[in-house]
Amino acid sequence: MVCRSVLAGLICSVLMICGCQTAKKTVSVRSSHEVDHYVTVGQTKEVQLGGKIAEMMKGDNFDVLELKNNIRGTFGPVSCDLSPQRFFDLEDDGTYLYGFSEKDRGDDSFAGAWDGRKCGIRYNKLNSMDSGVVIDVREVGGIGNDINFMDIDGAIPEIEMTPMVNIYAENFLQRTIKFESYANDYLTLYCLEKKGSQQGFDKQGNEKSVDPEMQEKVLNFDLTESKTIEVMGAQIEIIEATPDKLVYKVLSPLSSK
């Protein structure tokens, strides 16, 4: 038992010398109340039956790191195997962003000191090709109490910065229009609106997230009366309509209010 503790200490000493780094805990927030319109105003577009004609989303925006492939990192007897996943709670040391997995843990085949420690990824904010695998040993305590970089064993990490919107915030708003059907000069559109709700409370009085309020509507338009329609604040010109296809142009975007 004493020998095992000594070996663990030696491993931690070596790893500390060979490249550990402390990351500063932050949540990477891009901006607040940003509006994204998933359509280009004035551009002719084509959509198939059931497809999305226009969409807008507003709320507290933030970035997540998304690992696209299976990767493996090693450092001596310690290894980390990471599966594709998203990392939400990011840490920032000024150069790198770090994300740690809640399911993938380290394997220490020598002394066992780092067994079960969180595996993660690092992402260079200025150079996305400079990505790697890390293991979080800050919970171990003592020597080597830090974040350790690991060598890539096999596939190069495919990591992307993915923008997200906090759907549980009160300022969240999403509006979507889809092509529902077309027959006998009548165009039918499916409209969806989601709005953020106030935070709720559980039985113990603790705050909890509440799903957005959702409203759905189906609207019909007689295209013999006008080829320009207004939906949820958007103005849309219908260029061609068939039962299977809609060609259109968004003249003004969906309302963000």
pLDDT, tens digit, for every residue of 43-53? 999 999 999 99
Tell me what pLDDT residue 21 has. 46
| pLDDT tens by residue, 172-183 | 999 999 999 999
Residues 79, 133 within the same domain: yes
| pLDDT tens by residue, 202-223 | 667 676 777 889 999 999 999 9
Provide the residue range defining the domain that includes 226. 33-60+166-252
Residues 105, 229 within the same domain: no
Tell me what pLDDT residue 75 has. 87
Residues 149, 172 within the same domain: no
Spatial CA neighbour of 243 closest among 178, 188, 177, 176: 188
What is the C-alpha to C-alpha distance for residues 112 and 50, in angstroms, rounded to an integer?
54
Q: What rounded mean pLDDT belongs to the chain?
A: 81
The stretch 177-194 carries a mean pLDDT of: 96
Is pTM beyond 0.75? Reply is no
Residues 53, 171 within the same domain: yes
Residues 147, 171 within the same domain: no
The residue out of 107, 138, 157 marking a domain boundary is: 157
In a domain, 111, yes or no: yes
The residue out of 157, 189, 223 marking a domain boundary is: 157
Residues 170, 242 within the same domain: yes
Given a cut of 90, whether residue 184 has pLDDT beyond it is: yes
In a domain, 12, yes or no: no
Given a cut of 70, whether residue 18 has pLDDT beyond it is: no
The residue out of 100, 123, 157 marking a domain boundary is: 157
The stretch 85-92 carries a mean pLDDT of: 91
Residues 193, 134 within the same domain: no
Given a cut of 90, whether residue 199 has pLDDT beyond it is: no
Residues 180, 233 within the same domain: yes
Given a cut of 70, whether residue 29 has pLDDT beyond it is: no
Residues 193, 224 within the same domain: yes
Given a cut of 70, whether residue 24 has pLDDT beyond it is: no
Residues 176, 216 within the same domain: yes
Residues 175, 248 within the same domain: yes
Q: Residue 241 — pLDDT band, cuts 50, 70, 90?
A: very high
Measured CA to CA in angstroms, residue 14 lies from 9, 45, 75, 151 at distances of: 9, 59, 10, 15
- 3-state secondary structure string across the chain: CHHHHHHHHHHHHHHHHCCEECCEECCCEEEEEEEEECCCCCCEEEEECCCEEEEEEEEEEEEEEEECCCEEEEECCEEEEECCEEECCCEECCCEEEEEEEEEECEECCCCCCCCCEEEEEEECCCCCCEEEEEECCCCCCCCCCEEEEEECCCCCCEEEEEEECCCCCCCEEEEEEEEEEECCEEEEEEEEEECCCCEECCCCCEECCCCEEEEEEEEEECCCCCEEEECCEEEEEEEECCCEEEEEEEECCCCC
Domain count for the chain, please give it. 2
| pLDDT tens by residue, 109-132 | 887 777 888 999 999 988 888 889
Residues 49, 175 within the same domain: yes
